[in-house]
Structure 1
Amino acid sequence: MTINSPRLSFRPLTEADFADVIELGNKVHGENYLTPENLADYFQRGQTENGRNLHWLAFSDDKLAGIRLTFAPGKWDIDKYCTPSAWPFAAEELCYFKCSAVDHEVQGGGIGKSLLMHSIVEAQGAGCKGGLAHIWRQSPNNSAFEYFSRCGGELIADHGKRWLQSSLDDGYYCPVCDGDCYCTAAEMLLRF
């Protein structure tokens, strides 16, 4: 008996991928999590001064299976959901892991971790010593927190209602809260 495994490939995000990335991101995180407008902004934030692209995509048999959006140092905002005094590195030495999504059909095969590793290699090439993320605590079975912890992420703090303004002002529809989002974000840091 022959078992056919999917053929996986990885490459940086390009503007030609936007429609597929938006579709997969919204399928996993909820409607209007990614839009043409915010993805165009995010794309620019993932480009470093030395020409590196921190955004990565995974394909399973040539179909988009996973995305990792990562912002370069100096291209992400330190807001009220950040605790810089607890970080071991200055913000200029940190990338920001904005978004990760893996299609439900192929989860559990290491795609998320592989995407993270691709982004880390590029971030290290840009001088980063670590990466910060706000991890969705209400993901199914708290899988996002478990995944990021297994990859070495350290909990800095929990922040309630992290995406509420996005749901009120930007049309983000949380699939867990059935509309306005009251989910908690785990501020986590991953050292490289």
Structure 2
Amino acid sequence: MSGSLHLPAGVLSARFENKQTLSFVERTTPPPVLLAPHLLRLQDGAWSLMGSRCVACGELYFPRARGCTRCSGTELDDTALGHSGRLWSWTIQGFRPKPPYDGSSADGGEAGFQPYGVGYVQLESGLKVESRLTVADPARLRIGMPMRLTLEAYRHLPGGEAVHTFAFEPVPDSTPS
């Protein structure tokens, strides 16, 4: 499957690199449908994960939190957590998750399931975030490799429009040979 998904004018566009992964290039029309829009923000032409930072002690949270577990503070500000980091740990999900984490049975059900990577990415701030990975080939993943945030089709609406979630992909030229 090849093609382009056009996003708001003046930002970036996204190109389908394979059946499910988007890479950003140049933008022009409607934004993608997001599974959890509160987790992402378009900032300076790139998607960023959104979390919170405790005003009192600076502790970071993803997703956003209402209270700080470090100092018991209750004043937390929304904060962009960034879009890059390093792969801290990973595994390959070899079976279809149970609802509501299974995407959609309309996308091929059990027969259409493809194993996918899941990992922890340590962001530049030091915060570790659990995420889908765009790579499911163990030979292409290694602890410590640079990763960047992207969007990935998670399921499709009845009319066929893709609903996207965030995922991390290896930075080009960083995969093991």
Report the TM-score, using the length of structure 2 for normalisation: 0.28
Higher strand share: 2
Report the TM-score, using the length of structure 1 for normalisation: 0.26
Higher helix share: 1
Instruction: Compare CA radii of gyration and give the structure with the larger one.
Output: 2
Q: Relative contact order, CA 8 A, sep 6+: which one is greater?
A: 1
